């Protein structure tokens, strides 16, 4: 899957990061790629498969301790798993698909939002998929088993891309050109068909959760920022009003001292005067 053009104009020089090789990648995308590839190689070279030789599945020590694996309540409550499972992959094709999408789409989002916001978003979308799968498995709705892969974050990445760049073109399987909008629609249809046929139901649930979390995060984050700004403005106005009231009270007390003397002050008025003196000395 490769991004090759935009309908509304070609990328500028600074936007050739995804096509200019590994060096042109932004920091977080680069390190996510490195970490995922290194962990995959280390796992398959150093950790033997714990399942019988005739099994088609692969389950290593890393999978046992770091995958999303809701086999018990204790496992389900191990809070690192919704993050750590995103750096494990079942096979080469699983890893390759996720990393290819990350390589081509990740730079667009990271360059737009910044590295810190991108990493937070990517891990949140992936973690949401792991948490929803865990809950559904513990409720008996889905079969219990280990789940690995960065696909929840990858689907969240697709959600961000389709919101910000709906007309950007991609090559499905490196052959079929289509817009990001249609790619996401096909991805959803594919996941729903897999669920209907009973194929990788837990994984597809995590994929769709990552996608939904991505949409919710991108669409509602501006509203949340506005709410926080209004709250901060309200808090600031309250603080300024409190400061104004305090100064008026200090002026009243000083006038009382001038008119009636220091001995006329109550204990509360003396404390207010001491607080005013402290603030003046500290430059508050």
Q: What is the mean pLDDT of residues 189-218?
A: 90
- Model pLDDT, residue 226: 65
Task: Note whether 212 and 252 are same-domain residues.
Answer: no
CA distance 154 to 217: 14
Per-residue pLDDT reduced to its tens digit, 33-65: 999 999 999 988 888 777 766 666 778 888 889
Task: Note whether 60 and 191 are same-domain residues.
Answer: yes
Specify the length of the chain in residues. Answer: 284
User: Which residues span the domain enclosing 203?
Assistant: 2-227
Q: Which residue has the higher pLDDT, 108 or 247?
A: 108
Task: Note whether 243 and 205 are same-domain residues.
Answer: no
Q: What is the mean pLDDT of residues 91-118?
A: 91
Average pLDDT of every residue of the chain = 82
- Model pLDDT, residue 252: 84
CATH of the domain at 76: 1.20.1540.10
Task: Note whether 129 and 223 are same-domain residues.
Answer: yes
Residue 132 lies in a domain: yes
Task: Note whether 207 and 95 are same-domain residues.
Answer: yes
Residue 234 lies in a domain: no
Per-residue pLDDT reduced to its tens digit, 6-32: 333 334 434 444 445 667 889 999 999
Q: Which residues contact 110 (CB under 8 A, 6 or more apart)?
A: 26, 27, 28, 29, 118
- Model pLDDT, residue 4: 33
Task: Note whether 87 and 57 are same-domain residues.
Answer: yes
Neighbours of 240 (CB within 10 A): 10
Number of H helices, E strands in the chain: 10, 3
Going by C-alpha positions, the residue among 143, 149, 47 that lies closest to residue 93 is 149
- Model pLDDT, residue 31: 94
Cα-flanking dihedrals φ and ψ of residue 30, to 5°? -60, -45
The model's confidence at residue 151, banded by pLDDT at 50, 70 and 90, is: very high
Give the pTM.
0.71
Task: Note whether 218 and 252 are same-domain residues.
Answer: no
Per-residue pLDDT reduced to its tens digit, 205-246: 999 999 999 999 988 876 666 666 666 666 776 777 777 878
- Model pLDDT, residue 98: 93
- Model pLDDT, residue 229: 66
How many distinct structural domains can be found in the chain? 2
| Angular region, 173: left φ>0, alpha ψ -120 to 50, beta rest | left
Task: Note whether 119 and 50 are same-domain residues.
Answer: yes
Listed ranges 45-54, 200-209, 246-255, 267-276; the one with the highest mean pLDDT? 200-209
CA distance 269 to 252: 10
Residue 163 lies in a domain: yes
């Amino acid at each position: 899957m490769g991004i090759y053009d935009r309908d509304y104009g070609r990328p500028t020089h600074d936007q050739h990061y995804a096509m200019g090789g590994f060096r042109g990648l932004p920091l977080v995308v680069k390190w996510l790629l490195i970490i995922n590839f290194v962990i995959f190689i280390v796992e398959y070279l150093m950790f033997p498969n714990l399942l019988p030789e005739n099994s088609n599945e692969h389950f290593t020590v890393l999978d046992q301790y770091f995958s999303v694996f809701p086999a018990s309540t204790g496992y389900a409550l191990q809070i690192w798993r919704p993050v750590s499972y995103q750096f494990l992959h079942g096979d080469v094709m699983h890893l390759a698909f996720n990393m290819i999408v990350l390589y081509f789409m990740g730079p667009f989002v990271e360059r737009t939002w910044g590295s810190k916001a991108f990493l937070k978003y990517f891990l949140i979308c992936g973690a949401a998929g792991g948490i929803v799968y865990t809950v559904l498995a513990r409720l008996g709705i889905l079969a219990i088993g280990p789940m690995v892969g960065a696909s929840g974050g990858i689907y969240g990445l697709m959600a961000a891309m389709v919101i910000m760049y709906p007309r950007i073109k991609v090559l499905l399987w490196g052959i079929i050109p289509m817009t990001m909008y249609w790619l996401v629609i096909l991805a959803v249809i594919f996941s729903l068909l897999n669920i209907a046929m009973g194929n990788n139901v837990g994984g597809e649930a995590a994929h769709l959760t990552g996608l939904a979390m991505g949409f919710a995060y991108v669409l509602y984050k501006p509203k949340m920022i506005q709410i926080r700004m209004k709250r901060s403005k309200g808090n600031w106005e309250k603080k300024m009003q409190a400061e104004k009231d305090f100064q008026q009270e200090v002026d009243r007390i000083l006038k009382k001292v001038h008119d009636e003397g220091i001995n006329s002050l109550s204990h509360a008025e003396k404390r207010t005067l001491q607080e005013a003196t402290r603030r003046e000395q500290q430059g508050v």
